[in-house]
Amino acid sequence: MESVNALTALAAGVLSFLSPCVMPIVPAYLGRLAALSAGTSRLRHAVLFTCGFSFIFIGLGISAGYVGGVAGRLLPAAQIPIGIAVALGGLHLAGILRIPVLDRMRAPSNVTRGGLVGSLLLGAAFAVAWTPCIGVVLGAILSIAAAGANPLGAAFLLTLYSAGLALPFLGLALIADHRPAVVHTVLARLRIGTHAAGVIGGLLVAMIGVLIATGGLTLLSRILPGIPGL
């Protein structure tokens, strides 16, 4: 499906993983997965971890879709301030403008329960704790979802975002299962791209903000084929 919104959501998820918010916690994530899996496959627990944060993000997307439908008459008046806010957040993410409050995050509560349920809860805790930090990118995607005023389409959009964020986590868990000796090498190479991902992701978000403010996002959605209502 070739849709500007769908591709943007998927790319935004990958860029969120490479962001300075997420990359520093990846070693702790791998260590916690090892503790939860208790010597069994990390990949199985990683799947549940990603399901945990995906449920939260998709729920936010559905809510945004319903809000967009209910407040459809207000969206034209709100699109300019929303677009400006998203654009400013993008400039912050790119390092062009510093907004200290956007760097804050809440440490997740300790997930002491082991096993598969513990991995699911860890993913949900990750979503809740890191939403303020990755909120710049996530907020842009939610703005697109709200503009579409289509809860099912919004759910699919946030599913793609979650998939983009989940794939690197799953890949690292798979490597940790079969080639644990190369995990540190892979992480070191990923960290090299963190700054570039921040700049690219920030500029992408800023562009989305401009499109939201000017109504260009709706125009692009009409020109390009994609999800009905988005």
State phi, psi for 3 to the nearest 5 degrees.
-130, 135
Residue 188's domain comprises 4-223
Query: What does the DSSP 8-state code read for residue 113?
Result: -
**Share of residues in the chain with pLDDT > 70 (%):** 73
- Residue 228 inside a domain? The answer is no
Lookup: tokens for 136: 């710049």
- Residue 39 inside a domain? The answer is yes
Does residue 167 carry a pLDDT above 90? Answer: yes
- Residue 208 inside a domain? The answer is yes
The mean pLDDT value for 113-129 works out to 78
pLDDT band at 134 (very low <50, low <70, confident <90, very high): low
The mean pLDDT value for 45-67 works out to 86
- Residue 229 inside a domain? The answer is no
- Residue 84 inside a domain? The answer is yes
Give the three-state DSSP class for 173.
helix
The mean pLDDT value for 197-222 works out to 72
pLDDT band at 225 (very low <50, low <70, confident <90, very high): very low
d(CA 29, CA 55): 18
Model's pTM, two decimal places?
0.74
- Residue 156 inside a domain? The answer is yes
The count of domains in the chain is 1
pLDDT at position 163 is 93
Tens-digit pLDDT profile for residues 1-47:
335 567 778 888 888 888 777 777 788 788 877 777 776 788 888 99
Query: What does the DSSP 8-state code read for residue 97?
Result: S
More confident residue, 1 or 103: 103
Does residue 170 carry a pLDDT above 90? Answer: yes
- Residue 230 inside a domain? The answer is no
pLDDT band at 54 (very low <50, low <70, confident <90, very high): very high
Does residue 218 carry a pLDDT above 70? Answer: no
- Residue 212 inside a domain? The answer is yes
The answer to whether residues 132 and 112 touch, using CB atoms and an 8 Å cutoff, is no
